[in-house]
Amino acid sequence: MFADNKLQEGFAYLAEMARSASGRGIAADMWFSEVKSMPVSKASVQALQQFLLQFPTGSVAANARVLLDQQQAQLQDPTFRARSEGLAAVKSGNTTQAVADLQKAVQADSRDSDAVGALGRAYSQRGDRARAVAQLSKAIAMDPDSPNRGKWDSLLQTNRYWLLIKQGITP
């Protein structure tokens, strides 16, 4: 369920699993692992709060409290918040929010290649090929050794192709 981006269904299943003594520990570990993998955002903070309601005690709960405190502190910084919310929005396909947040993040830190690349991805998702090409090219030039390089190269190639077709040029 989590792989299909069905977070609420996945967490509901784990909550059901946690009702049995034999499944509680496994459910807590799986739930916390999933929450830790989420980009820091309002959604990740809410997921941690829900986790702590379901699992208020134990070592995993203690780790969740530490992570919750860290994430809440990070989200107090407007630039960090814009970046993290933008990255989460790109991942979920919410291009309007992604573009708005990532533009703020890039304006605040123009050296953040991940934010620049994610902005290119958001432009690509909404079909704005020219802006996608510009941002993806910029991200690659900024950080040619980024772990996101393969994704950026692929998106750049795809957007260049569709941009040429739109301009009436046969690739």
Measured distance between the N- and C-terminal CA atoms of the chain, rounded to whole angstroms: 39
- How many Cα atoms sit within 13 Å of 94 on the Cβ side? 11
Residues 141-157 have pLDDT tens digits of 999 999 999 999 999 99
> Looking at residue 5, what is its pLDDT?
62
158/23: higher pLDDT: 158
pTM here is 0.72
Domain 88-166 homologous superfamily, CATH: Tetratricopeptide repeat domain (1.25.40.10)
Helix segments in the chain, DSSP class H: 7-17, 21-37, 42-54, 59-74, 78-92, 95-108, 113-125, 129-142, 149-166
102/38: higher pLDDT: 102
**In contact, 125 and 95? CB cutoff 8 Å:** yes
What is the mean pLDDT of the segment spanning 7-27?
85
Task: Enumerate the domain spans of the chain.
Answer: 7-74, 88-166
What is the pLDDT of the chain when averaged over all its residues? Answer: 92
> Looking at residue 20, what is its pLDDT?
87
Lowest mean pLDDT: which of 10-14, 21-25, 138-142? 10-14
**DSSP helix/strand/coil, 130:** helix
Distance CA 41, CA 159 (A): 28
What is the mean pLDDT of the segment spanning 10-23?
85
